[in-house]
Amino acid sequence: MLRSEGDRLRRVVVSSPGEAFVGITDLVAHNFGQRPDGRLAVDQHDLMKATMAAFGAEVIDLPELSGHPNSVFTRDTALSTPEGFVRLRLGLPTREGEDRWMADGLEALGEPMIGEIEAPGTVEGGDVVLAGSVAFVGESIRTNRSGIDQLTGVLTPMGYDVRVIPLPDSILHLDKVLLTIGAETLLFCADFIEEDRFDGFETIAIPYGPTSTANVINLGDNELIVNRSNRGVIKRLAGTRYIVHDLDLSEYAKGTGGPNCLIMPVDRG
């Protein structure tokens, strides 16, 4: 189970790139800017999995969903909570079915489903950041008000204070501009979120741009996985208490994804 993204990563679901990812044909429909290099994508994903395993996390590799190149971005399909997982409903039409695929995989692991987002609501996991007793939720082109209201109804009884953050269309998901990197520490882009939204948290501000985004993986114990191209974060954290594993994840950036997009945390603590 999982209450906060700031806690140590214990168990995580990923999906290694296979035929669907490397053989993508319709880039626009699947929101890819470029066609990825298949061999390089596999090598990069393998190194990311090895880094998490070396840290001590159990890494579960779910076979990709046939015909779904975006299924490699497992983050968006479900949300783990202290009581079980919520099956999400994705906002990109070509990703329909990935929620059922992930739900089946999680239930096979013994994880209970405690709720689901129903039409017309949409919520993608990249728009939800659980931080202790606070749930930050991005209202974006992929997560709508109906979905947020449904998710709030699930999270509020668990003691979460749901704070909605409106995002411009240029920001695909909240995790591009906000993530937890410690029990009470947030990494955020001040260009889009005012710091007064973060009462009770320590904050580290970074600029936002092609080489600076909050999309990282918090392993725990002040260790992070950061895309090597994310020079803004690497520079900002140099000389701090954080240990940065800078991995080349260039082939996933071609699908507008970062490190956090590639993992569906199941257990933290």
Structure tokens at 34: 């470029």
Find tokens 């999400």 and name the residue. Answer: 88
Position 194 scores a pLDDT of 83
Instruction: Look at the block and give the residue holding tokens 């990197």.
Output: 181
Residues 6+ apart with CB under 8 A from 210: 229
Neighbour order of strands in the sheet with 217-220: 217-220, 223-227, 243-247
Instruction: List strands edge to edge, sheet with 134-139.
Output: 128-131, 134-139, 161-166
The pLDDT value recorded for residue 107 is 98
Confidence (pLDDT) at 246: 97
pLDDT for residue 51: 98
pLDDT at residue 96, as a whole number: 97
Nearest to 91 by CA among 66, 127, 64, 67: 127
124: closest CA among 163, 90, 164, 157?
90
User: 174 in helix, strand or coil?
Assistant: helix
Three-state DSSP class for 132? Answer: coil
Please tell me the distance from the alpha carbon of residue 58 to that of residue 154, in angstroms, as a whole number: 27
Per-residue pLDDT of the chain (269 residues; tens, 9 = 90+): 899 999 999 999 999 999 999 999 999 999 999 999 999 999 999 999 999 999 999 999 999 999 999 999 999 999 999 999 999 999 999 999 999 999 999 999 999 999 999 999 999 999 999 999 999 999 999 999 999 999 999 999 999 999 999 999 999 999 999 999 999 999 999 888 988 889 999 999 999 999 999 999 999 999 999 999 999 999 999 999 999 999 999 999 999 999 999 999 999 99
Please report the pLDDT score of residue 196 as a whole number: 83
What pLDDT sits at residue 157? 98
- Global pTM reads 0.96
Domains of the chain and CATH, by start: 9-268 (3.75.10.10)
Strand partners of residue 161:
134
- Give, for 38, the enclosing helix (H) or strand (E): helix 38-55
Give the separation between CA 194 and CA 165, rounded to whole angstroms.
10
Cα-only R_g, the chain: 17
Q: What local confidence, expressed as pLDDT, does residue 128 receive?
A: 98
DSSP state of 83: S
